[in-house]
Amino acid sequence: MTQSSRSSRLVLGTATVATGLIAGAFYIFACAVMPALARSDDRVYVEVMRDINEVIQNPVFFLSFLGAPALTAVAAWQARGRDHRGWVWAALAASALAFLVTVVFNVPLNDALTRDGDPGALREEFEDPWVAWNVVRAVLLTVATGLLVKATGSRAAGSTR
């Protein structure tokens, strides 16, 4: 195995793990965090979401959140001319769409939640759209993870089957 081959396996594997971690983070919000918060009164809901939005902005999260699409892009470039390239490029497309959903929808909703106002009104503007867009990005990143897993198997087998 060449150094280049080892490097591309490492990048593809790391992209797969990082994408899975972020898919899992969004999944747990969809399955547990947001349903639990839905039971809270408006003031608690807004305070907790503000706290979450603040503490999630940390180096560990950003390393995975930004690293997953970046590593997938590198893996796609490294896969050019190889049998598994279609799986990696499809994963990159799904990952890029999830990133776009986050930047265009979830982050502006998070930002709007920081303004002063009635907690009930803030929650009403935030909750349903944020939850819906979170599910979209969770699904996209779950698909991306599956595609990357398929790419790792196809790369190992040397085919796209």
The pLDDT score that the predictor gives to residue 158 is: 61
- DSSP letters, 102-141, are IIIIIHHHHHHTTS-S-HHHHHHHHHHHHHHHHHHHHHHH
**How many distinct structural domains can be found in the chain?**
1
- Cβ neighbours for 74, distance < 8 A, ≥ 6 positions apart: 11, 15
What would the pLDDT profile of 40-57 be if each residue is shown by its tens digit?
A: 999 999 999 999 999 999
Mean pLDDT across the stretch 54-61? Answer: 97
Task: Judge contact between 64 and 18, C-beta under 8 A.
Answer: yes
- Cβ neighbours for 138, distance < 8 A, ≥ 6 positions apart: 23, 26, 27, 29, 30
What would the pLDDT profile of 118-161 be if each residue is shown by its tens digit?
A: 999 999 999 999 999 999 999 999 999 999 999 999 876 664 33
The pLDDT score that the predictor gives to residue 20 is: 98
Domain of 135?
A: 3-157
Q: What is the pTM of this model?
A: 0.93
What would the pLDDT profile of 13-46 be if each residue is shown by its tens digit?
A: 999 999 999 999 999 999 999 999 999 999 999 9
The pLDDT score that the predictor gives to residue 157 is: 65
- Residue 39's φ and ψ, nearest 5 degrees, are -80, -10
Q: Is 3's pLDDT higher than 90?
A: no
- The residue type of 93 is A
Task: Judge contact between 151 and 91, C-beta under 8 A.
Answer: yes
What would the pLDDT profile of 80-118 be if each residue is shown by its tens digit?
A: 999 999 999 999 999 999 999 999 999 999 999 999 999
Phi-psi region of 115 (alpha: psi -120 to 50; beta: other; left: phi over 0): beta
